[in-house]
Structure 1
Amino acid sequence: MAKPLYKVTFLNHGKVYELYARHVGGSSLWGFTEVGELVFDVHEGLVVDPTEERLRDEFGNTKMLHLPMQSIIRVEEVERKGQSAIRDAATGEKVVTPFPLPAKPR
């Protein structure tokens, strides 16, 4: 039997993060929730999701997240992984780091 998959939505520095993980549970640290075994897409082609790359850069080497309970918005058990996202907390719009453009000559 496969391990369950969870979509964890939480606040972090004024943004709403949506990550997928295989483990969610109580932490030994009072007031925190453990989120572990984070799941990221593995892209073999040229198309790369900048949000997924940003999340992988930030959390790729993380063994276990200990999130304060008050920062967690929702934990959902899901059938399959969707797209991870970073959204602005006020507007709900996705926050995407744009591809850097060359500077305009002066």
Structure 2
Amino acid sequence: MAKDPVYRVVFINNGKTYEVYATSVDQGYLYGFVQIEGLLFNERTSLVVDPGEEKLKAEFDGVGRTNIPMHSIIRIDEVEKQGTPKIGDAKGEVVTAFPIPKPDKSSS
């Protein structure tokens, strides 16, 4: 029996690097967005709590499907097993986000 795939998705959101794990990643129906479904979080059985993971869990609480802008995605990997979701600083990253053009104010 084949094991269900697990995907690690790394993206930038509000100057932070998010690393999440999901069971499904697809192009989605919205043009320019990557659709992520089945977000996975570690089930805690001990008293040790990772505050970064808890923040992510709270942010995505009740979310069944999320759409991430394609230009915010750094990488998507199919991995053997789920790791720990986390939020990090995007400063000093090797990958630079795709520039977003600013609206031309002279045409208003």
What TM-score comes out, normalization by structure 1 length? 0.83
RMSD after superposition: 1.0
Task: Tell me what 1:39 maps to.
Answer: 40
The 5 A counterparts of 1:13-28 are 13-28=14-29
Deviates more, 1:4-13 or 1:82-91: 82-91
The 5 A counterparts of 1:68-87 are 68-87=69-88
The 5 A counterparts of 1:1-106 are 1-91=2-92
Counterpart of 1:91 in 2: which secondary structure? coil
CA distance in 1 between partners of 2:51 and 2:34 (Å): 27
In the alignment, is the contact (CA less than 8 A) between 2:41 and 2:84 conserved in 1? no
CA positional deviation for 1:3: 1.5
CA distance in 2 between partners of 1:48 and 1:20 (Å): 18
CA positional deviation for 1:46: 0.7
Task: Tell me what 1:102 maps to.
Answer: none
CA positional deviation for 1:84: 1.4
Counterpart of 1:54 in 2: which secondary structure? helix
Tell me the matched-pair count. Answer: 92
Runs of 4+ in structure 1 deviating by more than 2 angstroms, as ranges, are: none
Give the letter aligned to residue 50 of structure 2: D
